[in-house]
C-alpha cells in the first residue's frame, strides 16, 4: 500500500519502500506503542523472501480506555492520518526520522546475539550499580530510589565497558571467544561474579535452560579459582567500577546533582508541610487546615516571585527526572520547621482577621445543602 493511501494528500514519492532491516526495526519500535492503545495487537506474517515493504500492518482489537484515532496518531508520531470508523483500515504516515531505528535495532540485536549476551552484560552492569536492557544503560539509584538514564548508544555502552566494537563486528567462533572478549572489560571481576562454589552451584539447575549464561558462570569460576591459586584473591586486587565512575564517564554528574537536589526539596516539603504538622502547630482540623495550606502555598509563591524577580506567567514548576518541583516547594526549602510554623500562624491570623474561614465555611455549607436538595 505504502503512499497509495495518502495519494490525495501527499506525493507518493514521499513514501519509499522499506528494506527488511528497516521494516523489522520499525515493527520492534512501534509494536509496544500500539499495544499501549489496544489490548490485542498482531503483525500479519509477510510473504517469504520479500525484498522490500511498502508499509507496516497492525491488526488490532479491544481499544483501551481513552484510545482514539488522535491518541494513536500521537503515540506513533504520525504527521498525517486517515482514520476510519468501525472494523476498517486506518492509515498513519510517520516521518522517517521520527524514531532512531538504526541505533535501537543495533542495540537490541547486540543484546540478543549469541543467546545470552544481554544477561552477561547485565551481570557486569549490576556489579557497578547499573542496569542494562534493550532501552539502554541506567544507574540504579538508592537515594532517591529511581533509575537514571545514561545512554542508549551501543557505541557508548561498549566504550564504557572498555570493549572493542570492531572486535564484536568480526564475530566469534566459540562461546569461549565471547567470554575472553568480555573478560577484557574493567567491569569483569570473576571473584564477584562467582563468589563461592556454594552460591555458584545453588542456582545451576534453575539456569539450566540458559546454557550460554551457565557456561559464562563456569568460565568466571574458572578465572576466580585461577586467581586464588595465584594469590590474587583479595577483594582489592581489581579496582571496582562504581556509579560515580559511570556518571563521570557519561558527563551526568550535574544531572545527578540536580536530581538529588530535587529529591531533597520534595522530601523537605513532605516533612515540614504535612497536614498533621499544620494541625499540631495551629490547633486547626479538617477543611480549615486544607484552606490554610492552600493560602500558605499562594503566599510562598508570591514571596518567591517577588524576591527572585521571576516574571509572572513563567513556568512555576521545574521537572528534574521523575520529580516536579513547584515554586512553593522551592520557597519552603529555605525555611526551617520553626519558620514554617511561625509563617503558618501568621497566615492563619490574617485569614481569621479577614473572615476568610467564615466565608469558606458558608460556601461549603451551601454546597452541601445544594447537593442534598431533591432533584
Question: What pLDDT does 360 receive?
Answer: 94
Q: Do the domain assignments include residue 276? A: yes
Question: What pLDDT does 296 receive?
Answer: 96
Nearest to 155 by CA among 144, 169, 143: 169
Question: What pLDDT does 197 receive?
Answer: 44
Q: Are residues 17 and 141 in the same domain?
A: no
Counting the structural domains of the chain, the total is: 3
Q: Are residues 220 and 130 in the same domain?
A: yes
Q: What domain range is 40 assigned to?
A: 2-99
Nearest to 364 by CA among 374, 352, 372: 372
* β-bridge partners, 184: none
For residue 234, give the C-alpha cell.
583479595
Q: Are residues 117 and 189 in the same domain?
A: yes
Question: What pLDDT does 170 receive?
Answer: 85
Question: What pLDDT does 14 receive?
Answer: 59
Q: Are residues 111 and 92 in the same domain?
A: no
Q: Are residues 187 and 82 in the same domain?
A: no
- Block means of pLDDT (10 residues each) for the chain, length 375 residues? 60 64 79 88 77 83 88 87 78 76 74 84 93 89 85 93 90 91 94 64 56 91 84 61 94 91 92 94 94 95 82 62 86 93 96 95 91 80
Which string of DSSP letters, residue by residue, matches 32-92? HHHHTTEEEEE-PPPPTT---BS----EEEEEPTT--HHHHHHHTT-SEEE--SSSS--EE
Question: What pLDDT does 89 receive?
Answer: 83
Question: What pLDDT does 202 receive?
Answer: 56
Question: What pLDDT does 91 receive?
Answer: 86
Report the alpha-carbon distance of residue 56 to residue 33 in Å, rounded: 14
Q: Do the domain assignments include residue 309? A: yes
Question: What pLDDT does 131 receive?
Answer: 93
Q: Do the domain assignments include residue 336? A: yes
Query: Whole-prediction pTM value?
Result: 0.63
Which positions ≥6 away from 159 have C-beta within 8 Å?
A: none
For residue 41, give the C-alpha cell.
495487537
**Residue located via cell numbers 497509495:** 4
Whether the bond into 144 is cis, omega within 30 of 0:
yes
Report the alpha-carbon distance of residue 105 to residue 21 in Å, rounded: 9
A 10 A CB-CB count for 154 gives 21
Amino acid at each position: 500500500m505504502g503512499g497509495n493511501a495518502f495519494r490525495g494528500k501527499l506525493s507518493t514519492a514521499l513514501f519509499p519502500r522499506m528494506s527488511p532491516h528497516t521494516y523489522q526495526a520499525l515493527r520492534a519500535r512501534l509494536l509496544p506503542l500500539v499495544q499501549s492503545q489496544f489490548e490485542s495487537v498482531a503483525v500479519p506474517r509477510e510473504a517469504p523472501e520479500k525484498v522490500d515493504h511498502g508499509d507496516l500492518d497492525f491488526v488490532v482489537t479491544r481499544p483501551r480506555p481513552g484510545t482514539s484515532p488522535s491518541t494513536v496518531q500521537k503515540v506513533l508520531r504520525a504527521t498525517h492520518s486517515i482514520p476510519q470508523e468501525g472494523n476498517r483500515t486506518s492509515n498513519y504516515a510517520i516521518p522517517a526520522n521520527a524514531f532512531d531505528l538504526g541505533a535501537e535495532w543495533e542495540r537490541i540485536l547486540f543484546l540478543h546475539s549469541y543467546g545470552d549476551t544481554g544477561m552477561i552484560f547485565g551481570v557486569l552492569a549490576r556489579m557497578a550499580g547499573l542496569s542494562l536492557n534493550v532501552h539502554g544503560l541506567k544507574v540504579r539509584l538508592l537515594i532517591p530510589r529511581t533509575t537514571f538514564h545514561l545512554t542508549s548508544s551501543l557505541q557508548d555502552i561498549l566504550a564504557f565497558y572498555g570493549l572493542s566494537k570492531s572486535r564484536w563486528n568480526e564475530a566469534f567462533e566459540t562461546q569461549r571467544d565471547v567470554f575472553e572478549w568480555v573478560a577484557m572489560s574493567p567491569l569483569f571481576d570473576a571473584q564477584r561474579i562467582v563468589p563461592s562454589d556454594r552460591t555458584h552451584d545453588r542456582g545451576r539447575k534453575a539456569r539450566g535452560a540458559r546454557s550460554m549464561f551457565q557456561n559464562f558462570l563456569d568460565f568466571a569460576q574458572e578465572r576466580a579459582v585461577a586467581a586464588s591459586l595465584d594469590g590474587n584473591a583479595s577483594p582489592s586486587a581489581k579496582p571496582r567500577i562504581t556509579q560515580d565512575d559511570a556518571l563521570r564517564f557519561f558527563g551526568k554528574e550535574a544531572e545527578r546533582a540536580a536530581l538529588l537536589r530535587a529529591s531533597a526539596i520534595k522530601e523537605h516539603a513532605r516533612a515540614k508541610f504535612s497536614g498533621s504538622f499544620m494541625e499540631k502547630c495551629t490547633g486547626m482540623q479538617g477543611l480549615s487546615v486544607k484552606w490554610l495550606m492552600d493560602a500558605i502555598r499562594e503566599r510562598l509563591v508570591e514571596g518567591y516571585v517577588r524576591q527572585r524577580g521571576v516574571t509572572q506567567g513563567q513556568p512555576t514548576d521545574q521537572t528534574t527526572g521523575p520529580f516536579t518541583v513547584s515554586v512553593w516547594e522551592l520557597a519552603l526549602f529555605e525555611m526551617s520547621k520553626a519558620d514554617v510554623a511561625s509563617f503558618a500562624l501568621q497566615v492563619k491570623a490574617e485569614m481569621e482577621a479577614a473572615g476568610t474561614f467564615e466565608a469558606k465555611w458558608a460556601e461549603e455549607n451551601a454546597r452541601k445543602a445544594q447537593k442534598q436538595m431533591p432533584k
